[in-house]
Amino acid sequence: MAKLFAKKPVDRLMEEAREVGEHSLKRSLGPINLVALGIGAIIGAGLFVRTAAAIADRAGPSVVLAFVVAGVGCAFAGLCYAEFASMIPVAGSAYTYSYATMGELVAWIIGWDLILEYAVGAATVAIAWSEYANRVLDWFGLRIPYQWAHSPFEHDITSGGHGIINIPAVFILLLLTLLLIRGTKESAFVNGLIVILKVSIVLLVIGIGWHFINPANHTPFIPAPATYVTPQGITHSYGGILGILGAAGVVFFAYIGFDAVSTAAQEARNPKRDMPIGILGSLVICTILYVLFSYVLSGVATVQDFRSAGREASVAFAITKYMTGYEWLSKSVTVAIIAGFSSVILVMLLGQSRVFYSMSRDGLVPKVFSDVHPKFRTPYKSNILFFLFTGVFAAFIPEDIVGEMTSIGTLFAFILVCAGVWIMRASRPDLERGFRVPAVPIVSTLGIIVCGAMIYGLGWTNWMRLLVWLVIGLVFYFSYGKQHSRINAPPPEMPEGIQLTR
C-alpha cells in the first residue's frame, strides 16, 4: 500500500530536469513567447466550434456567462499551475506535479486522465478541422460526401443520410503525426505568426459582427429551464443555472491549452518569473476575447441556426447568412481556423507524447513509449500508437461526445492540481517558489469547487464515461505499471538529441 502513494522526490525531479536540459531542451523562451504559446494552444476548436454547441444544446445567449464561469475556474487552476511551474520547472505538467505531491497512484490516474485532454482533445479538433475543410472544398464545387466525413452515430437532419467514417479527420491526424515523427516542431516565431492570425480573425469577427447583433437573439438572455434532445438522441438541461453550468463544462474545452505552457517550463529562460506570466497572461487575454466573441456570435445567429445547418462550421455559417457583404470575412475565418486547428492538433499530439515519455521513463507504461527513432530522434512508436488511438476516436465518435470527454478529463486534472498546491504548501513549505498562489487554501478550494460544479453540469453520461475510463486505467496500472515502477531505481538516461520540445 505504501508503494501506491510513494512520492517522487523533488530533488530527483530537478536532477532529471538538469539532465534533460544538457541534451535537448534549450532555455530560449521569454514571457512573450510563453503568452503566445498559451494563446496559440487555447484559441482553437473550443471557441470556433464548441461555442455553437453550447448555445444550441445548453445555454442559448447565456453562453456568455458560461465563458465567465469557465474562465474563473481556469483562473483558480491557472494560479495553482503557475506556482507548480515556478517551483518544479520540469516537463510532464500535471502528471509530474501529482507524482511529487500525492504519490504514484494519483500520478498514474492523472497521467491516464491526460489522455482525455491531449489525445482525445486532438481527435476533437481533427473532427472540427474536417468540418471547415469541407467548407473550403465547397468553394471549388467539391465536397466529401456526408457518410465519409461523419461518424456512424451521426445523421444529416436534412437529407437523412448517416455517417460511416470521418476520413478528413483521420487524414489530418496522420499528416501531423508524420510531421512529428520527422521532428517537425513549432518554433516561437511560427507560433507567434499563427497567434497573430487567429487573434486578428477573432477581433475582426467581434468588431464587424457587433453591428449585426439582433437584440431579439439575446432575449431572454438566460432561457427558462427546459430540456433539449440533440439529433443523436442525447438529453441535456437547457437554460437556467444547470444550462449555464453545463455550457461552462462544454466551452471549458475552449480554455484547454493554457496548461500546455507548463510543459515548456524547461525551455523558459526564467521559469520562476516567466511561467506565471505565460499561464495567467494567456488566460486573461483569451477570457476577454471569448466573452466578447460569444456575445457577438449568439447575437448574430439564432439558437435554431446552431441546432440545424449552422451546427457545423458555425462561425463561417453565421457570417455568410447574416453579415451581408462580408463573405470575404467568412472565407478568411475558414482559412485561419484550419491553420489554427492544425497547430492545436500538433501541440496536443506533442503534449501527449511528452506526458507518456515521462511515464515511460518512470516505468509506469511500456518502454515503447520512450523508444526513439535512430535518425529523427523522436518517440516515433509512441506517435504511431497515439495516431491509431486518436484516429479511431476521430473516425467513429461524434464531436460532441469526444469534446465533452476532453472537458471532463481536464476538469478532473485541474481539481488534482488545485489540491496538489495545498498539499505541497503543508508538506514542503521549505521549497523555493518563484510564484505563490495568494490565499491558499481558499483559492485552491474555490478552484476545486468551480471545476467540480462544471463536472456536475456536464451530466451523468459524462460522469460515467470518466469513471469507466479511470477504471480501465486502474486495470492497466495494477497489471503493469505497479510491477514496473522505477520510483526506487536510479533515473534512466535520456537519449541524446531527442526532440520533445514544443
pLDDT in tens, 13-30: 766 655 544 334 455 677
Question: Which residue carries 518569473 as its cell?
Answer: 273
Is 90 exceeded by the pLDDT of residue 435?
A: no
Confidence of residue 344 (pLDDT cuts 50, 70, 90): confident
pLDDT, residue 65, reads 95
CA distance 183 to 401: 31
DSSP H or E stretch at residue 240: helix 240-251
Query: Nearest CA to 330 among 341, 340, 321?
Result: 321
CA distance 479 to 485: 11
pLDDT, residue 210, reads 95
**302-319 burial, b if ≥16 CB within 10 A, otherwise e?**
bbebbbeebbbbbbbbbb
pTM greater than 0.75: yes
pLDDT in tens, 258-284: 766 766 665 677 777 787 788 888 888
Q: At CA 40, angle to CA 360 and CA 264, rounded to 5?
A: 35
First to last CA, the chain: 37
CA distance 15 to 12: 5
- Size (the chain), residues: 502
Q: Which whole-number Å values give the CA distances from 192 to 129, 163, 187, 349, 458, in the listed order?
A: 21, 37, 8, 19, 34
Is 50 exceeded by the pLDDT of residue 501?
A: no
Which domains are present in the chain?
3-484 (1.20.1740.10)
The mean per-residue pLDDT over the stretch 327-341 comes to: 85
Query: Nearest CA to 425 among 413, 412, 442?
Result: 442
Q: Omega before 220 cis (within 30°)?
A: yes
Classify burial at 72, counting beta carbons within 10 Å of its beta carbon; exposed 0-12, middle 13-18, buried 19 or more. Answer: middle
Annotate 266-315 with DSSP letters as a single string: GGBSSHHHHHHHHHHHHHHHHHHHHHHHHHHHHHHS-HHHHHTGGGSSHH
CA distance 373 to 371: 7
Beta partners for 162?
Answer: 155
DSSP H or E stretch at residue 201: helix 188-209
Query: Nearest CA to 389 among 422, 348, 330?
Result: 348
pLDDT, residue 166, reads 94
pLDDT in tens, 395-409: 999 887 888 888 888
Beta partners for 219?
Answer: none
CA distance 53 to 230: 10
Q: At CA 252, angle to CA 246 and CA 257, rounded to 5?
A: 165
Tally of CA atoms within 13 A in the half-sphere of 66 that contains its CB: 42
Confidence of residue 475 (pLDDT cuts 50, 70, 90): very high
CA distance 25 to 19: 10
CB 201 within 8 A of CB 336: yes
pLDDT, residue 45, reads 67
Query: Nearest CA to 353 among 373, 388, 382, 384?
Result: 382
Query: Nearest CA to 182 among 384, 22, 337, 32?
Result: 384
